[in-house]
Structures are given as C-alpha cells and as structure tokens.
Amino acid sequence: EKLDLQVKTVFEGERPVEKPTMAQLDKARFYVTLRGTTTTKETKLCGWRIDDIAGLAMTIAYVISKKGKAPREDIEELLRDKLPGWRVDINLDRYVRAGYLAEDENSQLYLDWRTRAEVDQKTLVNALLGVES
C-alpha cells in the first residue's frame, strides 16, 4: 500500500531553487511530508485543536499577504477577533516553537522552515480566496 509521502527540499531563502547547486543542496533541509491532504478526523489525531489549525492558517495567510513578514502585534490583533484571547499568545508561541514561524528581536514574524516544507502556500491562498485549483 502506498504511504502517500514525499520528500520536500527547503532551502535557506524564502524561494525554492529551480536548479540547486551542490553547495545549496548541502545547506538545504530535507523533510518527508504527506503528499495529499488529511481528513478532519486525521487532523484531530495530530494533537492540535481545530481552532489552533485555523489560527495557524490565518497567521500564515496574513504573513504571506504582508510580503513575508508582519508585526506580532498585528497578528495578535487579528487572532483575537477570531479566537479566545487567552489562546492567542499560547498559539503564536506554539507556532514559533514548531517551526511554522520565526520571530526576530523586533517582534516581526516570518514564515519559517516548517511552513515552507509542509504548507502549499499557493493552495492556501487560493482556498481562502475561493479560487478553484
């Protein structure tokens, strides 16, 4: 039976490299991810609440819309409109610890390695815009 897995290559920069050099491949990270999508039931088994996943999707989409970086304060405000206030800081810290986001000394949030490895950003944006792929 097929496992429906794929190997993803994540490079240092934001953009994927079309024809990477050996030096770029030496610095790249390789991850095994699901090729397809998961069902709602399977998603619950990963240990995250559905509103945590929704918050992550909102956060990633917001950072994408801001050209790859956004102030933490703006994201906190966005999430407080949709999630219980006490969960906002917990979730953002969790997203950073898990590698979906990175935070710099100026409290700017960026997409991190795990987002680039696991999230099809184009599909996410199209889903939020209601575009059929």
pLDDT 10s digits, 47-76: 778 888 889 999 999 999 999 999 999 999
pLDDT at residue 132, rounded to an integer: 67
| Percent above pLDDT 70 for the chain | 89
pLDDT tens-digit profile of 23-50?
888 888 776 777 777 776 676 667 778 8
Dist. CA 50–CA 97, nearest whole Å: 18
Cα 97–58–9 angle (5° rounding)? 55
**H-helix segments, 46-112:** 50-65, 72-80, 85-98
Q: The whole model's pTM is what? A: 0.75
Domains of the chain: 5-129 (1.10.10.10)
pLDDT at residue 22, rounded to an integer: 85
